[in-house]
Structure 1
Amino acid sequence: MQIDPGSQYPRRRGFGISPRLIIVALMLMYGGYYYFSNRQVQPETGEKILIDKSLTPQQESQMGLQAFQEVLQQEQQLPANAEISQQVTEIARRLITVIPQVSDALAAENNAKSAHVEKNFDWNVAVLKSDQVNAFCLPGGKMAVYTGLIPVAQNADAMAVVMGHEISHALLRHGAQRMAKQRLEQIGAMAGAVSGMDPGMQQAVFSAYGVTSQLPFARHQESQADEFGLMLAAAACFNPQESIALWQRMDAVSGGQGQPEFASTHPSAGTRMKELQALMPKAMEYRARFCKNPGGTQQAATLR
């Protein structure tokens, strides 16, 4: 009986790597490269942010213009010569005028220089007839105020706080930041799908590592816009103290029944008032520093 010598030794198994794992690894490597290569410091806040370097402010402005045109097709715009339209336009003009000074001052606090993205903006303000208690400013400076906000704001000072806040979202490129974060989430989701990970488990893992932390991310942006906007309003000779009364009225309109803060993209009214109150000394310093006609703005103009 012949014995095969090879049978005395165990046959070696191959060490091949699954093509699926290679694809997942490559996608994760790309996600890491995308994250670290697109990080930059936001001069006005001093924080590291993620913005796709291939997305320019000019491209953002074009996207904002397209979105603005779509809104105007769907909503009824008040005539430019209507009294409230003229009031809102004047508030916007005053806020826009002080953007360069306020941007430079905030950046200087972080030993940085502002990129002045507003240089690429083509400003336009519309008042839209709607019961919505809302306003917005899109990239590129396209702004709208809904008439439903007017009885809540009540006066020009409070409206300036709201409009300054919305302008700040555009100046800080918050939309571009959200787009970059969503791209990272898409890369992570695709990697999870290729790996065969259960969608529920995928969501749990991503949440644990903050990959899909859109809620606190959005709330942080809201707080940033609150601060920048308050400084704009103060520098433009509006009374920043009206921000507290504004949010008291906002809270009353919602009946105090807003979503719990942890489940909302916006800070609660109570949190906002507390943070705004803490910012008040700085706002008053900006008002004293940049407001050129403080004596002419003692009485808040009533909106109508």
Structure 2
Amino acid sequence: MRKILVFIGILSLFIQCDTVPITGRKRVNFVSDAQVLPMSFQQYDGFLKENKSKIINNTKQARELKTIGKNIAGAVDRFMRANEMTAEANSYRWEFNLINDKTINAWCMPGGKVVFYTGIMPICANTNGVAAVMGHEVAHAFAKHGQERMSSAQMQQFGGMAVALGTASSKQSNLWNMAYGITSQLGMLKFSRTHETEADKLGLVFMIMAGYKGEEAVNVWFRMSENAKKTGSKAPPEFLSTHPHNQTRITDLRAYLPTAKQLAAKYNAQTKNMGVRK
């Protein structure tokens, strides 16, 4: 037990706790932007090179995607500059690409590197739908979810080491390691669901700030749910999933929409005289 306490004491020296802007959630993150952004940009460039033949540029859909991305990135940029996050705003290298792929997916890497697959566009269905998904993905980068997950993965490894150090017999060790493995994995799944819910909320604020209709975020998840029914996709129980169930997201977004509108109006008023960094 003493070894565990010493280990946790040493680990605590490396832990930095701060607050996610807007939502106010406390997060643990000891991975700096200086560490993660060069890796993120390099990986994104590598992805684009590997998928060069699949990149769609000169279509109405691709141009609209880039326009929506720039508008929402502009809202994020204005918010950061108005809230003493100028250095962080300067570190973003916004980029938006559409990839010809039937996968229903979109993602944003740390530093603002966004990819949409054509498979998700029918789920988006319209301009406001694209903005809803764009806001959600951009929010992951804004809230530093990637850095936070990297930090948590390292802490999970450290925790396993502490368990191993603190158990005497091999039989005890096996039991504790098994228990730790199960509970830590469930904890990480819940952690991921927390990120998804937070990105839904932040994304709603940002898309409304950028001039899009937040109500469509609810419709996106309704269409996602309908698509799952058509294809026969069955989600695992929510506590075993990395994402909240579609109906949970629909309910949560509807409930948060009035708050998101109020916050968007507040931040737009706060930043109305600010330009956007090119």
TM-score, structure 1 normalization: 0.77
Report the secondary structure of 2:13's partner residue: helix
Question: In structure 2, how many angstroms separate the alpha carbons of the residues matched to 1:57 and 1:65?
Answer: 11
Unaligned runs of 5+ in 1: 1-20, 106-111, 293-304
| Residues 80 and 89 in structure 2, CA contact (< 8 A), matched pair in contact too | no
* Larger proportion of helix: 2
Counterpart of 1:244 in 2: which secondary structure? helix
Q: Give yes or no for the alignment of 1:238 onto 2:238.
A: no
Decide which structure has the larger Cα Rg and report it.
Answer: 1
User: How many angstroms apart in 2 are the aligned matches of 1:101 and 1:203?
Assistant: 47
Give the secondary-structure state (helix, strand or coil) at the position aligned to 1:229.
helix
Q: Provide the residue aligned with 2:11 in structure 1.
A: 31
Cα distance change on mapping 1:193 and 1:212 into 2, 3 Å = farther
Select the residue among 240, 243, 251 that pairs with 1:263.
240
Find the partner of 1:123 among 83, 88, 94.
Answer: 94
Question: Hey, what does 2:176 align to over in structure 1?
Answer: 201
Alignment of 1:92-241 (within 5 A): 92-103=69-80, 114=85, 117-196=88-167, 197-205=172-180, 213-241=187-215
1:285 CA displacement:
3.1
Please tell me whether residue 49 in structure 1 is matched to residue 27 in structure 2.
yes
CA distance in 2, matches of 1:42, 1:86: 31
Equivalent residue letter for 2:220:
L
- Please give the residue correspondences for 1:276-295 in structure 2 after superposition, counting only pairs within 5 Å: 276-286=253-263
The gaps in structure 2 that reach 5 residues or longer are: 270-278
> 1:247 maps to what in 2?
221
CA contact (8 A) 1:189 1:202 kept: yes
Corresponding pairs, count: 261
Q: Distance in 1 between matches of 2:208 and 2:72?
A: 9
Equivalent position of 1:298 in the other structure? none
Distance 1:122 1:220 in 2: 26
More displaced stretch, 69-78 vs 215-224: 69-78
Compare 251-260 and 141-150 and name the one that shifted more. Answer: 251-260
Identity of aligned residues (%): 26
Q: What displacement does 1:22 show?
A: 6.5
Q: 2:40 aligns with which of 56, 64, 71?
A: 64
Q: Secondary structure at the match of 1:122?
A: coil
Query: Partner letter of residue 57 of structure 1?
Result: D
